[in-house]
């Protein structure tokens, strides 16, 4: 059963703590993405990766870091430098360099600050 | 800088009637447009798309219209069903891998 799996579904972060959100896909997609959703603001692009060992910053990359060591995995770390991390985080994947293709989304991770 | 705008945060319609969701964009480089449907605590799911070479695309009860000169697109749902109640996101791509989303419109279809 192909798809994108995000974990955990809910995550709490303490002040000054780094946390990592997991995203795994078995769709054999080369491109993967991280979006952040805030109420009333839609989805904003944090980082994306078109191929293993390569990634680019999106519109709001400050305070976040990513890695792409495997095609299937694209973890997102929310660092202590991200001062307003509370949001719903969505991971997506899709074929690379083919803009007439839709993205497939995971079910999301809700991150809250304690 | 919101390049994709959905100015109506919510819409309520009666079951069986038409739902019209609107979206405006500012970037003339956008040439591929999509609509996604999202339920609470879930990821968005693809609904329908349209390329800029077309002005209409239809899939069952869902039709997307594109007016390039006005930089406007709309999603029509006919007839609306209670199961259509969700948040609908408009998205646009300027080529490559960069997809921009609007803020979403919450549709409520009343029985």
Which residues on A lie below 8 Å from B98 (Cβ)? 45, 48, 58
- Span B48-69, pLDDT tens digits: 999 999 999 999 999 999 999 9
Please, which pLDDT band fits residue B97 given cuts at 50, 70 and 90? low
The C-alpha of A38 sits at a distance from chain B's nearest C-alpha, in angstroms, of 9
pLDDT score of A1: 58
Partners of residue B33 on adjacent β-strands: B50, B92
All residues of chain A having their beta carbon less than 8 Å from the beta carbon of residue B36 are 105
What is the C-alpha separation between B65 and B86, in angstroms, rounded? 20
Cα distances from B62 to residues A4, B15, B85, B89, in angstroms, run 26, 15, 14, 14
Determine the Cα–Cα distance for residues B18 and B75; give it in Å rounded to an integer: 10
Beta strands in chain B (DSSP E): 4-5, 10-14, 19-25, 32-38, 45-51, 56-59, 62-67, 72-77, 86-93, 100-101, 105-110
**Minimal CA separation from B16 to chain A, in Å:** 28
Q: B46 preceded by cis ω (within 30°)? A: no
The whole-number average pLDDT for the span A33-54 is 90
Mean pLDDT of A83-104: 83
DSSP A65-76: EE--SBTTB--E
Q: Span B15-44, mean pLDDT?
A: 93
Residues of A with CB under 8 A from a CB of B: 4, 6, 9, 31, 33, 35, 40-45, 48, 50, 58, 90, 92, 94, 96-97, 99-100, 102-108, 110
pLDDT band at A114, cuts 50/70/90? confident
- Which chain B residues have a beta carbon less than 8 Å from that of A97? 96-97
Inter-residue contact B85 to B107 (CB < 8 Å): yes
- State whether B43 and A105 contact (CB < 8 Å): yes
Residues 34-73 of B with CB under 8 A from A: 34, 36, 41-46, 49, 51
Task: Using the predicted structure, report yes or no on whether residue A72 has a pLDDT greater than 80.
Answer: yes
**Beta bridge partner(s), residue B42:** none
Distance CA B4, CA B24 (A): 6
CA–CA gap between residue A55 and residue A78 (Å, rounded): 16
CB of B81 within 8 Å of any CB in chain A? no
d(CA A98, CA A100): 6
């Amino acid at each position: 059963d192909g798809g994108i799996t995000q974990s955990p579904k809910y995550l709490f972060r303490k002040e000054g703590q780094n946390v990592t959100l997991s995203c795994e896909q078995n769709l054999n997609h080369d491109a993967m993405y991280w979006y952040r959703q805030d109420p009333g603001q839609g989805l904003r692009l944090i980082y994306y990766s078109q191929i293993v060992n390569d990634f680019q910053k999106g519109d709001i990359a400050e305070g976040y870091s990513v890695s792409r060591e495997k095609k299937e995995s694209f973890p997102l770390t929310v660092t202590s430098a991200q001062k307003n991390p509370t949001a719903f985080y969505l991971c997506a994947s899709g074929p690379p360099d083919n803009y007439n293709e839709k993205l497939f989304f995971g079910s999301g991770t809700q991150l809250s600050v304690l | 800088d919101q390049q994709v705008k959905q100015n109506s945060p919510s819409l309520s319609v009666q079951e069986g009637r038409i739902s019209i969701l609107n979206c405006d964009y500012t970037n003339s480089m956008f040439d591929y447009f999509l609509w996604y449907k999202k339920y609470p605590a879930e990821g968005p799911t693809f609904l329908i798309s349209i390329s800029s070479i077309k002005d209409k695309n239809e899939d069952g009860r869902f039709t997307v219209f594109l007016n390039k000169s006005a930089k406007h697109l709309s999603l029509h749902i006919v007839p609306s069903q209670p199961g259509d109640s969700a948040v609908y996101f408009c998205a646009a791509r300027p080529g490559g891998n960069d997809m921009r989303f609007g803020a979403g419109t919450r549709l409520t279809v009343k029985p």
